[in-house]
Amino acid sequence: MKKQIIYALLCMVLLTGCQKNTTNTIPKVSAQEQAADSTQPSIPEAPVPQQASLEPDLELPTSEPPSAPEMTLIMVGDILLHNPVEKSALQEDGTYDFDAIFAHTRDAITDADLALVNQEVIIGGEQLGISGYPCFNAPFAVSDSLVDAGFDIVCHATNHALDKGKAGILSCCQNWEEAYPAITVLGIHDSAEDAAAMPYLYTIKADTSNLENHTSSSSDELTIAILNYTYGTNGIPLPKDMPYAVDLLDEQKVISEIQIAENLADFTIVCPHWGTEYRTEPDAYQKKWTQIFLENGVDLVIGTHPHVIEPVEWVKDEETGHEMLVYYSLGNFVNWTASSGRSIANRMVGGMAKVTITLNEEGNAIISDYGVDALVCHLESGKNGVTTYFLSEYTDELAVKNAIRAQDSSFSKEYCTNLCNQVWGDLWD
């Protein structure tokens, strides 16, 4: 899916998976070719004038050591498909096309080595009935647009995962498996075997193709494990014959799977669906789980669910010294709520988490760079009228046209900027 990457990306699910990388090799001259060259008649060498002799201290070029493997990762928040969003994607021929939503962010998504998205609603397909709030179901065309936008990993563990019950899970998983087998789907499962294949591992290999006589070692690879869970499913129970259908934030289960991840990978990421809706600060539940993740060695947490942005901070285990970066909530990537009133404008602002992970000189995986790009969801009536911009590229003229102003007149580019400053300080772009 990635157009060009510096490092080769190997997708693994424990012992099985989909290999996405290609290996470049250096052409070598065979012994027979060397022998053939040696049979050619020799030509006497001309004497070298004394003044043309090489300086004795001239050093011949040597091969550079391979650079440390490095991965750039991005993640965006909730793909929340309210009825007006789905209506905007409905084409004249009766099909759906959601590409317009990603038109202004596609390049940033495809440029990342690994791109994650929180798919808030189940993609059960037209046969189960397309619907919005409160019981969502999206057409398969959503998956087409997610793939075309450049996403590699789709997080499906949300409170809306069971909105269409067992049928929704099975239909969604089948569509991903048949239409896009190279895409990794986290958080939902159509079989016990799939649920047992935890965690999901991704390995970046350093580019050693231009190095002669290089012996591969563990320092040439960076392996990342990713886990995805939700706090619940809006009171809808798991199917009795599919207790594995959705990955829930069950403490015993989560700790066990983190320990497996820690044994298999250099770096562990958890994407929890947690928190209080429309609250721009983490709640006690998020703080509790943050501590659990920290104490068990997780390196990065990227959260979703509150539908508004929340802070980004480092936390540290004082006993072990281990540090973990937490994005408490990325907010919505796209939505068109029917609600009106104060603070509705907050739901129009989202974030794109940006993290660079590399191996340091000691061979430990570290976060070498991180940040967040502010996003704003733009709404206009009509076909393909819903899209998402980077706030840095959004204009006052566009803000005036945003249909959300009819529901919250305080919405403006300045409002969005002030919200980002309030929540993220000087971290955001």
CA separation for the pair 177, 185 (Å, rounded): 9
Its sign, for the CA torsion 275, 280, 283, 288, is: positive
Instruction: Give the tens place of pLDDT for each residue, 190-248.
Output: 999 999 988 889 998 765 454 444 344 456 799 999 999 999 999 999 999 999 999 99
Structure tokens at 58: 């001239």
Residue with tokens 């999206």: 138
Question: For 13-19, which contacts have Cβ atoms below 8 Å and span 24 or more sequence positions?
Answer: 13/184, 13/197, 13/200, 13/201, 14/197, 14/198, 14/201, 14/264, 16/197, 17/201, 18/181, 18/182
Is residue 262 within 8 Å of 227, Cβ to Cβ?
A: no
Is residue 353 within 8 Å of 329, Cβ to Cβ?
A: no
Is residue 56 within 8 Å of 98, Cβ to Cβ?
A: no
CA separation for the pair 314, 156 (Å, rounded): 26
CA separation for the pair 322, 302 (Å, rounded): 17
Task: Provide DSSP, 254-309.
Answer: HHHHHHHHHHH-SEEEEEEE-S-TT-SS--HHHHHHHHHHHHTT--EEE-B-SSSB
Provide the terminal-to-terminal Cα distance of the chain, rounded to the nearest Å: 26
- Whole-prediction pTM: 0.85
Query: How many CA atoms does the CB half-sphere of 266 hold within 13 Å?
Result: 24
Say if residue 398's pLDDT is above 70. yes
Instruction: Give the tens place of pLDDT for each residue, 110-150.
Output: 999 999 999 999 999 999 999 999 999 999 999 999 999 99
Beta pairing, strands 70-79 & 349-359:
antiparallel
**Which residues is 323 bridged to in the sheet?**
316
Is residue 217 within 8 Å of 225, Cβ to Cβ?
A: no
pLDDT-derived band at 65, boundaries 50, 70, 90: low
CA separation for the pair 385, 381 (Å, rounded): 6
Instruction: Give the tens place of pLDDT for each residue, 295-351.
Output: 999 999 999 999 999 999 999 999 999 999 999 999 999 999 999 999 999 999 999
CA separation for the pair 78, 349 (Å, rounded): 11
Neighbours of 261 (CB within 10 A): 26
Structure tokens at 72: 């750039």
